Amino acid sequence: MSRNYFHLHLVSDSTGETLLAVSRAVAAQYEGISAIEHVYPLVRSKTQLERALGAIIAEPGIVLYTLVNDDLAAELVSACSQESIPVLSVLDPVVNLFRSYLGTETIDRPGAQHTVNADYFKRIDAMNYTLAHDDGQTGPDLDAADVILVGVSRTSKTPTAIYLANRGIKTANVPLIPGVPLPEALANVRNALVVGLVANPDRIVQIRQNRLLSLNADDDTSYVDRAAVAAEIAESRKLCTRKGWPVIDVTRRSIEETAAAIMELLRTHRLKFVDI
């Protein structure tokens, strides 16, 4: 199927991450249509805005912006309107709702969400912990994790752990390998939430075959044998059932969806400790 393309201009006084996330979430709903993204970050002066406007007028399309400076925002909207270019402030509806409910004005500080604060250092700490406890690197401080992911090879343990770490959640991951006993440290975990990740055997086989292909490795191995993979997954499910660990099937889930489910489990898990 042929694809149609359109120009998408994202003007931000910060990094532009918010605009990218919102626009991509919406664009994904349109099959066969792709956006040619033009990102203009850190637009905080008239000169910078004029430079962005020159590019927008040269290749018109949809314009989304996050500008807390009212003068710059008004100039962008005016220029786009004169050229009949659709333009929208992504944050204004949310800001107005907050203002109405909270009864107070915003501080109008560009990039305020990226200020270095306690949350920033929490994320850095979580990332350092997660990288040090990736792929079975347990150590004596495994129970210092917020979350421990267990699962057979190729169930997206590492990327999910990294995503959670970016949310400030210390995450370790332990591979379940046939014939290899669980790390002793995992048996002694008392505080961390342990979550099992599983997937459809056919999906696991496909991913593993691609992995071997990228390594130019021999694929005549039980690692990609469907019956053997199905047995691995069945055993991992039984293990989680015996241990009382929740299980998430990642077959049709994105990393973000898996992480969201884990974070909800973590909230419930922490409430149990509060009740105690």
> How high is the pLDDT of residue 85?
97
Domain boundaries, the chain: 4-114, 118-275
Q: What is the dihedral of CA 142, 146, 150, 155, to 10 degrees?
A: -130
| 258 assigned to a ligand binding site | no
| 157 assigned to a ligand binding site | yes
| 156 assigned to a ligand binding site | yes
> How high is the pLDDT of residue 218?
82
Average of per-residue pLDDT values in the chain: 90
| 152 assigned to a ligand binding site | yes
What string of H, E and C letters represents the secondary structure of 189-221?
Answer: CCCCEEEEEECCHHHHHHHHHHHHHHCCCCCCC
pLDDT band at 211 (very low <50, low <70, confident <90, very high): confident
46 has pLDDT over 60: yes
| 196 assigned to a ligand binding site | no
- Fold identical between 4-114 and 118-275? yes
116 has pLDDT over 70: no
276 has pLDDT over 70: no
User: How far apart, in whole angstroms, are the C-alpha atoms of residue 8 and residue 252?
Assistant: 29
Q: In what order do the strands lie in the sheet with 171-175?
A: 171-175, 147-151, 193-198, 247-249
- Summarised one tens digit per residue, pLDDT across range 85-102 is 999 999 889 888 988 898
The pTM of the full predicted model, rounded to 2 decimals, is: 0.66
| 32 assigned to a ligand binding site | no
Q: Which fold has domain 4-114?
A: Rossmann fold (3.40.50)
| 138 assigned to a ligand binding site | no
> How high is the pLDDT of residue 151?
97
pLDDT band at 113 (very low <50, low <70, confident <90, very high): low
User: How far apart, in whole angstroms, are the C-alpha atoms of residue 268 and residue 50?
Assistant: 50
**Mean pLDDT across 41-45:** 92
Q: Which CATH class is domain 118-275?
A: alpha beta
